[in-house]
Amino acid sequence: MALQDWKQHKRPFAAIASGPILWLLLFFLVPMTVVWLYSFGQNSGPAEISITGTLDNYKRATEWLYLSIFGKSLAVAALVTVICLVIGFPVAMAITFASEKWRPWLLVAIMLPFWTNLLIRTYALMMLMGSNGYANRGLGAMWDGASWLKTLVGLQPLEAWTPVQLLYNNFAVVLGLVYVHLPFMVLPLYSALDRLDKSLIEASLDLGAGHLRTLFKIVVPLAMPGIMAGVMITLIPALGAYLTPDLMGGTDSQMIANVIERQFKRANDWPFGAALSFLLIYAMFILVALQSMRGDKAKAGER
Partner 1 sequence: MSEFDKIVSKGLGRRSLLQALGATAVGISFTGLAACSKEAAKEPTKSAATTRIAATGEEPKLNFYNWDTYIGETTLADFKGLGGAEVNMTLFASNDELFAKLRAGNAGYDVIVPSNDFVERMAAADMLVPLDHSLIPNFQNIAPEYQDVPYDPKRKHSMPYTWLTLGIGYRKSKVKAVPDSWKVIFDSDEYKGRIAVLSEAGDMFRLYAKYLGKSVNGLTKDDIKIIEAMMIKQKPNFKAFHEDNGQDLLLKGEVDLVMEYNGDIAQAMAEDDDIGFVLPKEGSQFNSDNLCIPKGAPRPKNAHAFINYLLDAEAGKKITETILYPTPNAAAKALMPDEYKNNPVVFPAAEQLAKCEYAKYNPELQPLYEEAFTRVRAA
Partner 2 sequence: MALFKRTPIAPLDYTRKLWMRGWVGATLLFLYAPLLVLMVFSFNDSKRNAVWKGFTFKYYEKAFANSSLVEAMVNSLTIALLATVISVVLGALAGVLLWRFRFPFKGAVEGVMSLPIIVPEICLGVAMLIFFAKIDWPTGLPWPLNLSAITIAHITFCFPFVAMVVRSRMASFNREQEEAAKDLGASEWETFRDILLPHMKPGLIAGALLAFTLSLDDFVITFFTSGPDTVTFPVKVYSMVRFSVTPEVNAASTILILLTIALTAVALKVQGVKGIAETH
Q: Determine, following the binding rule CB under 8 A, whether residue 280 of this chain makes contact with partner 2.
A: yes
Binder of partner 2 out of 77, 187, 231, 248 (CB under 8 A): 187
Q: Is 254 in the site for partner 1 (CB under 8 A)?
A: yes
Query: How many residues at the interface with partner 1, by CB under 8 A?
Result: 27
103, 144, 147, 169: which one contacts partner 2 (CB under 8 A)? 103
**In this complex, which beta carbon is closest to partner 1, that of residue 194 or of residue 246?**
246
- Span interacting with partner 1, options 8-16, 130-138, 189-197, 289-297, rule CB under 8 A: 130-138
191 to 250, contacts with partner 1 by CB under 8 A?
246, 250
Rounded to an integer, what distance in angstroms lies between the CA atom of residue 260 and that of residue 257?
A: 5
Query: Min. distance of Cβ 98 from partner 2 in angstroms?
Result: 4
Nearest C-alpha neighbor of 235 from the set 79, 70, 72, 81 = 81
Q: Should residue 67 be labelled a site residue for partner 2 when binding is judged by CB under 8 A?
A: no
Q: Which does 289 bind (CB under 5 to 8 A by kind): partner 1, partner 2, none?
A: partner 2
Binding to partner 1 (CB under 8 A) within 145-174 occurs at 167-168
Strands 41-43 and 49-51: antiparallel
If the CB atoms of residues 166 and 186 are measured against partner 1, the closer one turns out to be 166
In the set 69, 229, 238, 248, which binds partner 2 (CB under 8 A)? 229
Distance CA(161)–CA(90), nearest Å, equals 35
For residue 108, the one-letter residue type is V
DSSP notation for 75-86? HHHHHHHHHHHH
List 57, 270, 271, 272, residue binding partner 2 (CB under 8 A) = 270
By CB under 8 A, residue 268 contacts partner 1: yes
Of 150, 211, 265, 299, the one binding partner 1 (CB under 8 A) is 265
Burial 260-285 (b: 16+ CB within 10 A, else e): bbbbbeeeebbbbbbbbbbbbeeebe
Distance (Å, rounded) from C-alpha 182 to C-alpha 114? Answer: 9
275 binds partner 2, rule: CB under 8 A: no
Question: Which residue number, 26 or 75, has a Cβ lying nearer to partner 2?
Answer: 26
User: Cα-flanking dihedrals φ and ψ of residue 121, to 5°?
Assistant: -60, -40
- Residue 115, exposed/middle/buried by CB under 10 A (0-12, 13-18, 19+)? exposed
Q: Which of 188, 245, 249, 271 binds partner 2 (CB under 8 A)?
A: 188
Is the separation of the CB atoms in 186 and 91 below 8 Å? yes
